[in-house]
Amino acid sequence: MRNGEVLAVLLSINLLVPMAQSKDSVAPSSSQVPEHETKNAKKVSELEIAGLRPGQDTMRKAYHRFGKDRVTNELSQSGSVVWLDVCNRQMLTVSFDTNDIIRGVRIQHTPGVTDADCDVRSYSRNVRSRMGGTGHGLLFGDRCDRVQQLYGSPHSDDYSASGTQESNSFVYHFDRGSKGSQLTLEITCDPASKTVKTIELTAPGPVSP
């Protein structure tokens, strides 16, 4: 082998060795990251349900989106209004304060309503989405495993709205960055069907001066 060829081989070996070392140095560090930290690395904030932002939007926006003439007066109470999707047995409740600022938005299974005789197309996910879902795309009736895929691990030491800790209730808190602006997202799953039965986003009342 001539001197020029020997020199070329030596140069190639010198170039390959640092590349191999750099690959080896990357692998251990990436494998050292615990799996639970990888799952929780994505931090998302939820600010709306059904296109409504508690603590920011007024009832005017709710009436514009869903129609004031379509409110179910029989189920509405003082300080809240209700809309129904009879086919999919879901109910949208929007609560508000004395200034008409929305304080809570809740989508849930409609209690005490029998199955409606609707066209099969009325049960599609596209139709369910008309009632609204979260800003990140979670809808009433979705599979429960989507909850943590979207929002990560819940705050496990929180309690459901009923006052008892339940394994099928996921609670998250999101800080909008100003005093008294924390939002609470609570999602409840049906343990039998493993589908989402309640989605609720609430904002605290106005801060006293």
> How do residues 21-73 score in pLDDT, each as one tens digit?
444 443 433 334 344 443 444 568 899 999 999 999 999 999 999 999 999 99
Q: Which residues contact 53 (CB under 8 A, 6 or more apart)?
A: 47, 102
- Specify the pLDDT at position 175: 78
Q: Which residues of the chain have pLDDT under 70?
A: 1-43, 112-116, 120, 156-167, 176-180, 206-209
Instruction: Determine phi and psi for 31, rounding to 5 degrees.
Output: -75, -15
**Residue 172, H or E segment:** strand 169-174
CB 171 within 8 A of CB 159: yes
CB 59 within 8 A of CB 102: yes
- Specify the pLDDT at position 20: 43
The structure tokens listed for 132 are: 């609204």
- Specify the pLDDT at position 119: 72
- Specify the pLDDT at position 60: 97
How do the domains of the chain map onto residue ranges?
3-32, 59-202
Residue 184 has a CB neighbour count (10 Å cut-off) of 19
Identify the residue whose tokens are 């990888």: 38
Written as one string, the DSSP assignment of 74-95 is: TT-BTTEEEEEETTTTEEEEEE
